Amino acid sequence: MPPKSRKRNKGKERKAKKEGKVELERVKANEIWQGWMNLKVGCLHGNDMVISNDHPVSKFMDEFFIHWDDRRDKGIEMILNDMLKTHSQVWTNNNHMELATQTFISIGVNLILVYDDVNKGALDIAKTITLLEHYDSSEGPGLSSSLYSRPAASKMRDIENGTISIKRDLLKFYRKRISCKCLKRMHLDARKTIPKMGRCAHCQAEKVRASLHVCSECMISQYCSKECQVAEIPVHESYCSIHRRYAFYQDLRLEIREIAPDDLQVRLEAEERLKIVHEALLGAAELHIEGKMKDKKIERLKEQIRMRDDIRGKLQSRRG
């Protein structure tokens, strides 16, 4: 064999080996989640949908579990964010999204039932479900609706709020999402024995949830005292700002839908301008992180208000 083709063969071998490894990883991941899905716990928790191996959602689950299995340096948010590009046909299809969410719910419930307790796996899966449930494909690229909307961020806060009431919180989370009674007994027991707790965003102390007070700006972060809230300001400001700005952006979107529900042209135009506002909001949050925001804060806010009034004015003149 001439050396050149031997070299080429070596390259082919390496490629085949790599492909074989990727395929092996996928098969392993598939076995993991299908295994959790099909555990004989005597109930399907109201989810009787069957996913064949070549279904887009099955591939979506495979990829999730490849990374989840190897997630030392990756959070759930990062895994899903990367998958936005590789599995766009799942993210933009409501039926697929529902199927994926249902599958995660069954896996999370089975994880709890098998161990007769909540665990890190059930927590990660609950976070995943929350991100999927709040995903809004009409918002353009990125997971922003899952990460920045107040309902999503508050839910994340409540399922990640420490160690004392995690069992009670996760049982409630999953029980609400299944039509069977599989978690009823465990949840009722937890409610009797575990108080509803929350965690101070500064000192991390776990306190009875009702005793914490929430930041009046973003309505998400909770504190055990005024002192803790003040001490956290330098860290909290950029987080608070991005959530506030996101809420502002969402209000505008709703308003556009209300003012011009039928006029597609008007809506498209307004949505186009809204995109600019969205970018400005996220850009402002970045400036915040870089610490340049203070001087520009008032200027930016004025700019946003100008843009908002501009959109409103245009919509109303079109309408009248």
Residues interacting with Zn ion, by CB under 5 A?
Answer: 43, 45, 180, 182, 200, 202-203, 215, 217-218, 221, 224, 228, 240
Please report which residue ranges of the chain form alpha helices under DSSP H: 3-37, 56-69, 76-86, 88-91, 94-115, 120-133, 144-148, 150-159, 166-175, 184-193, 226-259, 264-289, 293-319
Q: Backbone phi, then psi, for 223, in 5-degree steps? A: -135, 150
Of 79 and 220, the one with the shorter C-beta distance to Zn ion is 220
Of 87 and 244, the one with the shorter C-beta distance to Zn ion is 244
Of 99 and 215, the one with the shorter C-beta distance to Zn ion is 215
Of 217 and 255, the one with the shorter C-beta distance to Zn ion is 217
Q: How far is the CB of 116 from Zn ion (least distance, A)?
A: 14
Nearest to 142 by CA among 127, 158, 128, 131: 131
Of 17 and 184, the one with the shorter C-beta distance to Zn ion is 184
Q: How far is the CB of 225 from Zn ion (least distance, A)?
A: 6
Q: How far is the CB of 265 from Zn ion (least distance, A)?
A: 38
What is the DSSP secondary structure assignment for residue 164, as one 8-state letter? S
Q: How far is the CB of 263 from Zn ion (least distance, A)?
A: 36
Per-residue burial over 229-259, b if 16 or more Cβ lie within 10 Å, else e, is beebeeebbbbbbbbbbbbebbebbebbeeb
3-state secondary structure of 162: coil
Q: How far is the CB of 191 from Zn ion (least distance, A)?
A: 19
d(CA 292, CA 289): 8
Angle of the 56-69 helix axis to the 3-37 helix axis, nearest 10: 100
Strand pairing class (213-214; 206-208): unpaired
Biggest alpha carbon–alpha carbon distance for the chain? 81
235 contacts 200 by C-beta, under 8 angstroms: no
Of 60 and 104, the one with the shorter C-beta distance to Zn ion is 104
Cα–chain-centroid distance for residue 98?
A: 14
Q: How far is the CB of 217 from Zn ion (least distance, A)?
A: 4
Q: How far is the CB of 220 from Zn ion (least distance, A)?
A: 6
Task: Give residues with Cβ within 8 angstroms of 238, minimum separation 6.
Answer: 285, 288, 289, 293
Q: How far is the CB of 290 from Zn ion (least distance, A)?
A: 19
Of 224 and 256, the one with the shorter C-beta distance to Zn ion is 224
Of 27 and 301, the one with the shorter C-beta distance to Zn ion is 301
43 contacts 182 by C-beta, under 8 angstroms: yes
* Cα–Cα distance list, 282 to 32, 82, 124, 205, 252 (Å): 37, 19, 26, 31, 15
